[in-house]
């Protein structure tokens, strides 16, 4: 089945038409939905416990179901993640339905005709009778192509129904999160938008006084080089010897040099940040495609400009619960570290995790701090060992780690040697994973999300090393979202290894406890009984707002500037 619909930025979809095809009987039904009262329309198919629904990128279909106040089906096979897992890692693969049909030799509608139909749908009503017929025929072609693709995919040797149904169920959870959206402080966002040029200009004066690297609105590289020399900061360079100025580099350097966070925020504000791109609907909710299964490890990849968790961290303070509501950001604690410990069966890693502070435990295991050391007494060393653990998880070598911790290469090398000495089983497992992937030409998770391997370059080697923990983390999050959905917890968004939920004030404590329990259950379902990942809940009650410590300073500066502008006291 397939809907055609219109979706405006930040809004829920407006269904235009629906075509369904019953594969066994061959019956096709077409319904025009635009212009009709949603409450007067009944769904045209059986939705029993044994009915199976097939679609391509079905979160769109379930979003239309929710918009029409229709229930979600019990069983779903979404051919998008099934096709993604079959081709994941193969260069030049189109992720769309047309590309999938072409790969399986299925005749499909021409791309030009498809674009013509899409363009007309998005122009909106009124539609002539001829246009309605053209749109319905286009929709029907997608449905019949999907039916043929379904037959091809389910006939493959490695198709496994239970895990396909699992991925299909997650697409329903995605639709539910996109339907719910994230509550945004519209009034403050509008103040930012209305005064954005003045805010940018004043921010340069307020923030750059600590750096002295701007000339008007222009970032001066020579001035920045002098700032780095004056502050004894060693900076990564490109192959041509120039300073590497990507935001990712600033992000990494701000870890070891927190004083750079303000400059990073300023560069982002003046460069890539577009407040108008943050998608907020008429109900004050941030909504955008959550783009499930988009990365090689199967994680979600929503737009970094449209999703409120995508831009600079200080903007997350726009997230604010409505009156009578509570938000909870429930995060897995050191998820990837624990997954690696379980997969490698490394007893030292497991002990470090169970200590409650794996980074300090690692420092103790390495003999870098006494056994009675605490985070307060040995914070500096703990932080160095923390960065080593995180660096290993992302495949960093001594040079990258040295930059991250602002130490010499030899010091970084020594830290990595401690890691290899203390966590021997983990490093042996890493070798096994890499060799197996290169030998079998693929790597996969316990639920069948796979990556094709070609053994071409260092970047691919890092992806292979990251894959078991990252992809398993993605599986855990999918299970968690499904469990929360089935227990009627209002899920708003997945954020890497965390989930944002919303609940009524009077039920908040109970709902948050249940959420943490179910997220723990999810980790055991994927990793095995007894392998339970801890969670932490950050609770935001009205009239409070979400706050990330990394962005507090910039947020407060911007708020003060807006107040000064409104009071007429700003000096632009």
Helix (H) or strand (E) holding 145: helix 129-154
Radius of gyration over alpha carbons of the chain, in Å? 26
Helix (H) or strand (E) holding 359: helix 358-365
Q: What is the mean pLDDT of residues 16-31?
A: 96
What pLDDT, on the 0 to 100 scale, is given for residue 212? 94
Fold of 2-180: Nucleotidyltransferase; domain 5 (3.30.420)
- Per the CB < 8 A criterion, the answer to whether 535 and 520 are in contact is yes
Q: What is the rounded CA–CA span in Å between residue 18 and residue 571?
A: 57
Antiparallel, parallel or unpaired: β 442-444 and 450-452 = antiparallel
Task: Say if residue 366's pLDDT is above 80.
Answer: yes
Mean pLDDT, rounded, of the chain: 93
2-180 and 336-446, same CATH topology? no
Buried b (16+ CB within 10 A) or exposed e, 89-122: beeeeeeebbebbebbebebbeeeebeebeebbe
367-376 confidence digits (pLDDT tens): 999 999 999 9
Question: Which pLDDT band holds residue 104 (cuts at 50, 70, 90)?
Answer: very high
HSE-CB at 57 with a 13 A cutoff on CA atoms is 14
Whole-structure pTM value: 0.93
What pLDDT, on the 0 to 100 scale, is given for residue 424? 97
| pLDDT > 70 in the chain, percent | 99
527-548 confidence digits (pLDDT tens): 999 999 999 999 999 999 999 9
What pLDDT, on the 0 to 100 scale, is given for residue 572? 53
Buried b (16+ CB within 10 A) or exposed e, 351-365: ebbeeebbbbbbbbb
Q: Which residues pair with 2 in a beta bridge?
A: 19
What pLDDT, on the 0 to 100 scale, is given for residue 359? 95
Instruction: Using the structure block, give the residue that is written with the tokens 């000064």.
Output: 564
Question: Which pLDDT band holds residue 336 (cuts at 50, 70, 90)?
Answer: very high
Q: What is the rounded CA–CA span in Å between residue 565 and residue 348?
A: 56
Q: What is the mean pLDDT of residues 419-424?
A: 96
456-498 confidence digits (pLDDT tens): 788 888 899 999 999 999 999 999 999 999 999 999 999 999 9
Task: Say if residue 363's pLDDT is above 80.
Answer: yes
296-325 confidence digits (pLDDT tens): 999 999 999 999 999 889 999 999 999 999
Fold of 336-446: DNA polymerase; domain 1 (1.10.150)
Task: Enumerate the domain spans of the chain.
Answer: 2-180, 186-276+555-567, 336-446
Question: Which pLDDT band holds residue 255 (cuts at 50, 70, 90)?
Answer: confident
CA separation (Å) from 529 to 473, 484, 526, 565, 570? 16, 19, 9, 58, 60
Look at residues 198, 183, 374 and name the one whose alpha carbon lies nearest to residue 280: 183
Q: How many CB atoms lie within 10 A of CB 211?
A: 17
Antiparallel, parallel or unpaired: β 214-215 and 182-183 = unpaired
500-523 confidence digits (pLDDT tens): 999 999 999 999 999 999 999 999
């Amino acid at each position: 089945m397939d809907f055609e619909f219109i979706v405006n930025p930040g809004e829920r979809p407006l269904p235009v038409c629906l075509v369904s095809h019953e594969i066994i009987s061959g019956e096709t039904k077409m319904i025009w939905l635009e212009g009709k009262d949603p409450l007067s329309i009944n769904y045209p198919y059986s939705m029993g416990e044994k009915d199976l629904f097939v679609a391509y990128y079905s979160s769109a279909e379930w979003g239309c179901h929710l918009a029409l106040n229709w229930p979600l089906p019990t069983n779903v096979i979404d051919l998008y993640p099934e096709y993604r897992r079959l081709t994941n890692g193969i260069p030049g693969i189109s992720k769309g339905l047309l590309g999938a049909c072409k790969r399986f030799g299925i005749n499909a509608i021409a791309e030009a005709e498809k674009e013509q139909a899409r363009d007309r749908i998005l122009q909106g009503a009124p539609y002539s009778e001829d246009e309605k017929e053209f749109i319905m025929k286009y929709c029907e072609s997608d449905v019949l192509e999907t039916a043929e693709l379904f037959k091809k995919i389910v006939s493959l040797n490695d198709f496994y129904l239970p895990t396909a149904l699992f991925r299909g169920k997650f697409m329903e959870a995605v639709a539910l999160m996109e339907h719910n959206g994230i509550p945004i402080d519209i009034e403050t966002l509008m103040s930012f938008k209305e005064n954005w040029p003045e805010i940018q200009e004043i921010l340069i004066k307020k923030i750059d006084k600590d750096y002295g690297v701007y000339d008007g609105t222009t970032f001066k590289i020579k001035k920045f080089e002098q700032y780095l020399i004056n502050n004894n900061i060693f900076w990564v360079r490109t192959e041509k010897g120039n300073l590497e100025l990507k935001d990712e580099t600033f992000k990494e350097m701000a870890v070891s040099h927190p004083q750079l966070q303000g400059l990073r925020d300023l560069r982002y504000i003046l460069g890539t940040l577009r407040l108008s791109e943050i998608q907020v609907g008429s109900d004050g909710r941030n909504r955008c495609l959550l783009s499930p299964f988009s990365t090689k490890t199967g994680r979600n990849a929503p737009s970094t400009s449209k999703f409120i968790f995508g831009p600079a961290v200080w903007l997350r303070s726009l997230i604010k619960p409505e009156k009578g509501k509570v938000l909870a950001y429930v995060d897995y604690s050191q998820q990837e570290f624990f997954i690696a410990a379980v997969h490698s069966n490394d007893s030292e890693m497991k002990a470090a995790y169970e200590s409650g502070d794996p980074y300090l435990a690692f420092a103790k295991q390495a003999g870098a701090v006494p056994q009675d050391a605490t985070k307060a007494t040995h914070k500096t060393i703990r932080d160095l060992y923390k960065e080593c653990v995180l660096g290993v998880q992302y495949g960093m070598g001594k040079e990258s780690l040295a930059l991250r911790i602002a130490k010499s290469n030899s010091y970084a090398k020594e830290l990595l040697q401690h890691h290899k000495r203390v966590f021997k089983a983990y490093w042996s497992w890493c070798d096994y994973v890499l060799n197996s992937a290169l030998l079998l030409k693929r790597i996969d998770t316990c639920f069948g999300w796979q990556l094709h391997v070609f053994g071409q370059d260092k970047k691919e080697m890092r992806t292979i090393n990251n894959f078991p923990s990252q992809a398993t983390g993605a599986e855990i999050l999918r299970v968690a979202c499904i469990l929360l959905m089935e227990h009627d917890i209002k899920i708003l968004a997945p954020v890497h290894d965390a989930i944002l939920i919303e609940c009524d004030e009077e039920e908040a404590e109970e709902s948050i406890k249940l959420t943490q329990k179910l997220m723990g259950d999810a980790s055991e379902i994927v990793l095995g009984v007894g392998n339970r990942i801890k969670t932490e809940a950050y609770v935001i009650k009205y009239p409070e707002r979400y706050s990330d410590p990394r962005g507090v300073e910039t947020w407060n500066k911007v708020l003060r500037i807006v107040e000064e502008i409104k009071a007429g006291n700003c000096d632009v």
